[in-house]
Amino acid sequence: MEPSPGEHRNIAANNNTDEIRRSFRTELDSSHYSKVDEHWAGGVPPQYGVAPRIQVRHGKWFNLLWLIPIGLLLLIIGVAVAKGIRSLPGVQDFLIRYPGTSPLPDGAPVGLPAWLGWQHFLNLFFMIFIIRSGATILSDHPRLYWTRHSTPGKDWFRIQKPVPVDPLYTAKADSITLPDGVGLPGRRHSIGLARWWHLGIDTLWLLNGIVFFILIFTTGQWMRLVPLSWDIFPNSLSVAIQYLSLDWPQESGWVNYNGLQLLAYFITVFIAAPAALITGLGMSPALSTRFRAISTYFSIQVARSLHFLVLCWFILFIVIHVTLVLTTGALRNLNHMYASRNDDSWVGFWIFAASMLVVIFMWVAATPFTYRHPRVVQKVGYALIGPAQRLFEHIDSKPGQYTEKDISPYFWHNGKYPETEEYKQLQAGSFAGYKLRINGLVENPVELDLGQLRALPHHEQITQHFCIQGWSGVAKWGGVSMQTILDLAKPKPEAKWVVFYSFAAGPEGGIYYDAPPIEQMSYHLTMLAYDMNDDLLSFGHGAPLRLRNETQLGFKLVKWIKGIEFVENFDDVGSGLGGYNNDHEFFGYHQSI
Ligand SMILES: Nc1nc2c(c(=O)[nH]1)N[C@H]1C(S)=C(S)[C@@H](COP(=O)(O)O)O[C@H]1N2
Ligand SMILES: [Mo]
């Protein structure tokens, strides 16, 4: 039930003092951070995980490094078998009948045009940064799951030890370091910067891909990349026997790819690349909340796991592709792709070598550059992905459609816990002395204790939380809709942003805060929660009050809230970037993806 306007006036009249108007912004850290040094982000010490492993049975983990000797052994066995059967008459007939390539339709183009060489180079160039920054993103929550619950012990893949039995263990404590030349940037919890690389370069990669699709279909090159007859399968088997028996098939890549090659290229271009995009978007909190029907099955964790499997395909493809390019007539192959000519000259090799110098230079320079100029990386990244992020942010998600049975058995904790005397005393008194201060550009600045908050119309939602690090969980939140707070405080027309202040300091000092735009405060799923899963909100999850704003990632959902201030702009709030992680860790403001 809506409280009557009279009740609002009463709350205001009881509270209208100078103290209520005092802003908490003096407690923020307003230093400007523009490099990543050893003190950055609270100076978290490096922590290396474990070799990748997958869970084969409950509690039984298989170290994936074993795949190297197992793979080699299988290769040796494969070679022995192929050599053994190759001389059999039936196999010989089969190899004659299916030599390895299917004929192309009449009018198929011959040779590789120069634009393809450029696109191939740009693709490989972009992929390096995408893969490296992707690895850093994965390292920020080094576990994969098949359900959105992210329950410890239910991970199917991890590059980190099992979750310790500490009820307040945080996802940040779980993050791991990657060596600088592997990850991008690699340092523990450098996900803010890794995302600029990953999402920024993604847009370039996607653009290159769109041009590629347009060109292959307008030039007929697609005929060389799409299997057009069922004999692709016997031909692929034939090629496999020929490779494994070490009597390799005739190279004809200038005109026509062999069956296995065609299959590998087809899967990479038409399945893996689009899947990379779709699974990437599947991780967006804004899209997942908006397209609930899809995300019911295709949850963020399914998307993450598949995104990782797509990566595995790309890595496998790259290893085999490069090996074969270099072992099946390297000069000719390099001429095809780098010089669009079909001969054995060194021209292609030299172009390739020069391009590799560029690649190696950029590879080596990327991480140190990022630590020295993080704001440049952020600016360029935002210029590239920002438009899409801003677009997706304007999604007013409909009320929570999860049900009680979707509630996660385990909900990760995150962030830095409050340690101040002020907070400890309030906590000791069960928050009887707690007051939420609402001020700034409002007609009616107020302070509300928990009793007054509970007397306001009750709002509940069962929603999914998305942490930028990658874990997720569903919980039921009970409290007050932010719309109710707006109705009560009556923001003035100049109020454009709403700053939420925490009792807790961030890792580099100064209290934690975030400043979402005022439009988001009227969304159906924006609320202040004092209950979680029908219980009082716990200490770890933000007692006595936290923000929920479901089109946004978790870091924007301030816990342990003590004040809400309506402002015209946030230039003078903290260091002026709209949130603690924006000021300190180079997170972006609009993070709907
Ligand atoms: N005050 C404060 N609020 C915070 C944080 C923090 O460090 N300090 N971390 C944020 C992050 S990164 C996430 S994912 C969520 C985690 O909420 P949970 O611990 O209830 O899962 O809280 C957010 N709110
Ligand atoms: Mo988070």
| Residue 147: how many other CB atoms lie within 10 Å | 15
Provide the pLDDT confidence category of residue 11 given band limits of 50, 70 and 90: low
Provide the pLDDT confidence category of residue 393 given band limits of 50, 70 and 90: confident
Instruction: Out of 393, 411, 434, pick the residue that ends a domain.
Output: 393
Q: Are residues 318 and 464 in the same domain?
A: no
Ligand nearest to the CA of 579: 1
- Residue 504 CA: nearest ligand 1 atom is 1
- Residue 171 CA: nearest ligand 1 atom is 14
Of 64, 52, 58, nearest in space to 176 by CA: 52
Comparing 326 with 399, the larger pLDDT belongs to 326
Q: Are residues 239 and 116 in the same domain?
A: yes
Mutate to test the pocket of ligand 1, among 502, 508, 559, 582 (most ligand atoms within 8 A of CB): 559
Ligand nearest to the CA of 420: 1
Coil vs helix vs strand at 298: coil
Q: Which residues line ligand 1 (CB under 6 A)?
A: 411-416, 467, 502, 504, 512, 540-542, 554-555, 557-560
Q: Are residues 254 and 139 in the same domain?
A: yes
Residue nearest to atom 6 of ligand 1 (CA): 415
Q: What is the 3-state secondary structure (H, E, C) of 510-551?
A: CEEEECCEHHHHHCCCEEEEEEECCEECCCCCCCCCEEEECC
Residue nearest to atom 7 of ligand 1 (CA): 415
Q: Are residues 355 and 428 in the same domain?
A: no
Using a cut of 0.85, tell me whether the model's pTM lies above it: yes
Residue nearest to atom 15 of ligand 1 (CA): 554
Residue nearest to atom 5 of ligand 1 (CA): 415
Complete DSSP assignment for 425-482: HHHHTTTTT--EEEEESBSS-EEE-HHHHHHSPPEEEEEEEE-TTS-EEEEEEEEEEH
Q: Which residues fall inside 5 Å of ion ligand 2, going by CB?
A: 414, 467-468, 554-555
Domain coverage including residue 189: 53-393
The per-residue pLDDT for 394 is 84
Q: Please state, in angstroms and rounded to a whole number, the distance separating the CA atoms of residues 497 and 590.
A: 13
Q: Look at the chain and report how many structural domains it folds into.
A: 2
Complete DSSP assignment for 79-122: HHHHHHHHTSHHHHHHHHH--S-PPPPTT---S--HHHHHHHHH
Question: Residues 573-589: pLDDT tens digits?
Answer: 999 999 999 999 999 99
Cα of 145 from ligand 2 centre, angstroms: 17
Of 413, 454, 408, nearest in space to 541 by CA: 413
Question: Residues 505-554: pLDDT tens digits?
Answer: 999 999 999 999 999 999 999 999 999 999 999 999 999 999 999 989 99
Q: Are residues 353 and 439 in the same domain?
A: no
Cα of 578 from ligand 2 centre, angstroms: 16
Q: Please state, in angstroms and rounded to a whole number, the distance separating the CA atoms of residues 316 and 106.
A: 33
The per-residue pLDDT for 43 is 87
Inside any domain, residue 38: no
Of 336, 334, 350, nearest in space to 114 by CA: 336
Instruction: Out of 362, 393, 424, pick the residue that ends a domain.
Output: 393
Residue nearest to atom 16 of ligand 1 (CA): 414
Inside any domain, residue 580: yes
The per-residue pLDDT for 289 is 87
Specify whether the CB–CB gap between 575 and 29 falls below 8 A.
yes
Cβ neighbors of 563 (< 8 A, separation 6 or more) are 23, 24, 436, 437, 438, 439, 499, 500, 501
Inside any domain, residue 532: yes
Specify whether the CB–CB gap between 227 and 235 falls below 8 A.
no
Cα of 121 from ligand 1 centre, angstroms: 41
Q: Are strands 546-549 and 436-440 parallel, antiparallel or unpaired?
A: unpaired
The per-residue pLDDT for 3 is 46
Residue nearest to atom 8 of ligand 1 (CA): 415
Q: Are residues 450 and 367 in the same domain?
A: no
Cα of 112 from ligand 1 centre, angstroms: 52
Cα of 549 from ligand 1 centre, angstroms: 12
The per-residue pLDDT for 9 is 46
Q: Are residues 347 and 446 in the same domain?
A: no
Q: Please state, in angstroms and rounded to a whole number, the distance separating the CA atoms of residues 362 and 130.
A: 13
Cα of 555 from ligand 2 centre, angstroms: 4
Q: Are residues 484 and 359 in the same domain?
A: no
Specify whether the CB–CB gap between 248 and 560 falls below 8 A.
no
Q: Are residues 15 and 150 in the same domain?
A: no
Question: Both tokens of residue 97?
Answer: 């009948």
Specify whether the CB–CB gap between 269 and 277 falls below 8 A.
no
Q: Are residues 380 and 475 in the same domain?
A: no
Give the angle subtended at the CA of 246 by the CAs of 242 and 247, to the nearest 5°: 60
Provide the pLDDT confidence category of residue 214 given band limits of 50, 70 and 90: very high
Instruction: Out of 373, 393, 413, pick the residue that ends a domain.
Output: 393
Q: Are residues 325 and 270 in the same domain?
A: yes
Cα of 187 from ligand 1 centre, angstroms: 21
Cα of 414 from ligand 1 centre, angstroms: 5
Across all residues in the chain, what is the average pLDDT? 94
